[in-house]
Chain A
Amino acid sequence: MRFRPGALFVHLLLLLGGLIMAFPFYWMLATSLKSPQEALQAKPIWVPERMKPSNWLKAARLGDSPLWGGLAPGRSVELVFPGKEGPPPRALIPRTPGAFFDPRAEGTRVEVVYREGAWRVRLTNTTEEAFPSLPLVVLWPKEVPLQAPLPPDAIRSQGEHWRLEWVNAVPGALGYLFHNYLEAWHAAPWGRYFFNSFFTALTQVAVGLFLAALAAFALARIPFPGKEAVFVLILATMMVPGEVLLIPNYVLLARLGWLDTYYALIVPWLASVFGIFLLRQFYLSLPQDLFDAARIDGAGYLTQLFRIALPLSLPGLVSYGIFTFLGAYNALLWPLIVTQSPEMRTVQLGLQAFVSEAGSDYGALMAASTFVVLPVILGYFFAQRQFIQGIARSGLK
């Protein structure tokens, strides 16, 4: 390709725009790896401590397993603070705010000794149960230079001391990196939410596809009386915005006794005007000779549909599937209205509740956002071409 001087300018422009587009993603990811202290800095932190591989190595040495850490009954872990001898630091296990009884705070023996040029904080689990995480606070005298074994999640001044705080003193490499993710995951029944979202979306795709294919084939390929009327009706349906349907459909679901069930999430959106249109367009574009030949060979309408039309319209089916899946997985308003119990809520509702409840824990909030968007983004990277073509196809006239 010959060199064009304008190309560099185009690249710069595109890159700048792209950076603005991608920035929120980076910010989500970076914040999801920040400690509370880092997240609440007025001056933004671009690379949080937990993102640095050298810290992962340090974290891997702490706790029972190098990956996920933890402290088993009877086991102990030693945190080494290299430095000069001076007034001894004090170490304690903070109690969870509001917890009446916290086994981690009650059952952990803490010893501080100076040996071989370092202060050693030894934490021993004296209870019968294993601790997946162990918070720790060390009060470090200000006159002694400080070298922490792992960057503290928060550091603040407390009289003569620095107050060093860790949300988990026994993290392991992954437990350290993904601390916010673990916290966010345990804060809500995400497993159930994900199941609901996927079940709803996939059922809508599968059943909706089948129904739309049947109708589209009839509208495109079968000359039956009343076809025009049906088509006009479907066209007219397209003019009605989804907003209008919210209340009547809610009433209908309530009378059917379907509120707060999978029916409510799935059934009202099974018939898709968009799907019928898209597939009809595909079937119309197939040559009539194909169907005539099949007819001569004795194929009925259903055979024509399932053996000829459906396989040839695969791109259309994929487009429909992607659109429907995205719509169902990302929906907020409809599930918000028709479900009440936590068992029936979807991922988006879980996230929404999390946004309003998490308060200032932005790390966990961003972690939750990350795993909510992750399935679709992974899907995109696996099936990029289908995604792009599916979306592009929606604009065909």
Chain B
Amino acid sequence: MRTFPLHLLLSLGALLALGGYASRLGFLPGAWVGAGLGLYALLVLWGLRFGGRHALLGLGLSAYWFPPMAFLVPLLYALLFGRALREKEQAALYGWALVWPALALLLVWHVFPTFYAFYLSLFERVNFLRPAAFAGLENYRILLHDPLFWKALGNTLWYVLFTVPVGLFLATGVAILLNTQVAFLGFYRTLYFLPYITALTAAAAVWRWIYHPEFGFLNWLLGTPGLDWLNTPKGVFALLLEPLGVRPQGFWAGPSLAFVAIMAMSVWHFLGYQVVVLLAGLQAIPKEYYEAAELDGASFWQKHRLITWPLLSPTTFFLFTLGLIGAFQVFTQVYVLTPTGGVLQDTLTLAFYLYNKGFRDSDFSYASAIAMVTFLLILVLTLIQRRVLERRVNYEI
């Protein structure tokens, strides 16, 4: 026996209402909506063969004026008439009715904007109030010759390369120490975790104060007689940073160390999150493995290399991916610590450049081009990472 595709009818009706609204806002040519309406009318006529009640309730025309209605209509319909349907129909109707509210929001605020960003990036300098000329890939061509973009890209890559591995390394160390079942676990966990729930704005304000070139705590610390070997012209910092092309100076005093300071602060901020997640991963590893290894006479390092590391790899992989995506979008720290982008735009990152271009210079198309390039970079890196790393991830416990 054939079942009536009620869910299809309701879903299309909802989509059509959304399309109508989109065309009213000027995102969609009215002709498309008209064509959709015609198609829908045909479907309704076909649906009438199965019994008029279902088909007539399909379209909430009111949704044209109040779009959320479109996605509540299936839910209301399911509530009112769901019980009377056959089992398969019921499942289809309920499934779509429950999925629609969230799915519609995703379509409107995530899926559509992704394409729209690309569309915007193909036009000459737009801010959405003005019509603009189609420019093809011109924005991307300009982008490739934009020294500020390359600076932002370089900074961002440097940030990713530094904060993600260093953060993970430190967090793994702390998590392994915490997992040795020492006393005061809760106390230590709280110590390491608090920065993460602290708003970045506030944390950055505090660090800005700690880094202050004249009255900051850190410059005092580096200048105290016992520690000045760190920061003198021949000190440890100079030794480490000069090969990277960075001249160490007082924090914040010169351009070069500002970005290092931002990176250090970011590692501090996200460490707690990584520790908590890694600790959960560690605690999921059965104790028997370690006991067996101990019986076989494995050393501390052997246990960690042969048991902890492989079994923790899914968690590490997850944190790595997440850290990578997050690090590419670093904005808040940079914005609060150096609101103007630092001396000579020294602390510019991709997200910050996007913000500057889009919302200070109101050049939405160029900013969209930056966004698309970032997206592409993240996508490529994630794919490479999946290819290279995921093969080594061990999903069995």
Contacts and interface: CB of A to CB of B under 8 A. Distances in A.
A12 to B, nearest CB: 10
B195 A24 contact: yes
B332 A215 contact: no
A256 B113 CA distance: 14
Contact of B109 (A224, A225, A230, A245): A245
A271 B107 CA distance: 10
Given A248-B120, A356-B339, 6 more contacts: A24-B195, A24-B206, A243-B374, A245-B109, A255-B27, A387-B197
B188 A18 contact: yes
Contacts of B117: 244-245, 247-248
A267 B116 CA distance: 18
B102 A212 contact: yes
A6 B351 CA distance: 45
Chain A's interface: helix, strand, loop or mixed, by majority? helix
Q: Among A20, A248, A365, A397, which residue has the most Cβ atoms of chain B within 10 A?
A: A248
B219 to A, nearest CB: 8
B308 interface: no
A396 B278 CA distance: 10
Interface residues of A, number: 102
Nearest to B280: A392
A21 B191 contact: yes
A11 interface: yes
Interface stretch (B55-63, B291-299, B312-320): B312-320
Given A222-B91, A240-B375, A251 B102 contact: no
Interface in A75-100: none
Contacts of A352: 201, 335-336
B217 interface: yes
B105 A270 contact: yes
B109 A268 contact: yes
B215 interface: yes
15 contacts: A7-B182, A10-B180, A21-B195, A224-B93, A243-B371, A245-B109, A246-B355, A247-B371, A252-B25, A301-B82, A301-B90, A302-B78, A302-B94, A352-B201, A388-B276
B368 interface: yes
* Most chain A CB within a 10 A radius of its CB, from B98, B208, B215: B98
Nearest to B393: A397
Contacts of B205: 351, 355, 365-366, 368-369
B95 A218 contact: yes
Contacts of A13: 177
B200 A247 contact: no
Contacts of B99: 214-215, 218-219, 224, 230
A12 B211 CA distance: 26
Interface in A203-244: 211-212, 214-215, 217-219, 222-227, 230, 233-234, 237, 239-244
Given A27-B209, A44-B220, A395 B280 contact: yes
Interface stretch (A152-160, A164-172, A330-338): A330-338
Contacts of A244: 113-114, 117, 371-372, 374-375
Interface in B247-274: 268, 271-273
Interface in B322-349: 325, 328-329, 331-332, 335-336, 339
A271 B105 contact: yes
B18 interface: no
B102 A276 contact: yes
- A-B complex: 5 closest residue pairs judged by Cβ atoms: A224-B95, A248-B113, A271-B105, A392-B280, A395-B277
B305 interface: no
B209 A18 contact: no
B79 interface: yes
A248 B367 CA distance: 11
Contacts of A391: 193, 196, 273, 276-277
A372 interface: yes
Interface of A: 6-7, 10-11, 13-15, 17-22, 24-25, 27-28, 31, 39-44, 211-212, 214-215, 217-219, 222-227, 230, 233-234, 237, 239-252, 254-256, 267-271, 273, 276, 300-302, 305, 326, 329-330, 332-333, 337, 347-348, 351-352, 355-356, 362, 365-366, 368-370, 372-373, 376-377, 380, 384, 387-388, 391-397
A217 B78 CA distance: 15
Contact of A373 (B199, B325, B350): B199
B310 to A, nearest CB: 14
Contacts of A252: 25, 27, 108-109, 112-113, 116
B101 to A, nearest CB: 5
A142 to B, nearest CB: 27
Given A244-B375, A388-B193, A366 B206 contact: yes
Contacts of B114: 240, 244-245, 248
| Residue with the highest number of chain A CB atoms closer than 10 Å, among B26, B101, B174, B372 | B101
A384 B186 contact: yes
Contacts of A351: 199, 201-202, 205
Given A217-B98, A326-B197, A351-B205, A17 B174 contact: yes
A239 to B, nearest CB: 6
Given A7-B180, A248-B117, A233 B111 contact: yes
A95 B289 CA distance: 73
Contacts of B178: 14
A211 B103 CA distance: 9
- With a 10 A CB-CB cut-off, give which of A31, A362, A366, A391 has the most chain B CB atoms: A391
B113 A224 contact: no
A31 B209 CA distance: 9
Contacts of A22: 191, 194
Contacts of A212: 102
A329 B201 CA distance: 11
A40 B217 CA distance: 11
A367 to B, nearest CB: 11
B96 interface: yes
B188 A14 contact: yes
B102 A330 contact: no
Contacts of A384: 186, 190
Contacts of A233: 103, 106, 111
A244 B219 CA distance: 38
Nearest to B367: A247
Given A241-B325, A255-B26, A273-B106, A373 B198 contact: yes
A256 B108 CA distance: 12
Contacts of A27: 206, 209-210, 217
B54 interface: no
Contacts of A225: 7, 92, 95
Contacts of B242: none
A108 to B, nearest CB: 33
B36 interface: no
Contact of A271 (B110, B207, B268): B110
Contacts of B202: 28, 351, 369-370, 372-373
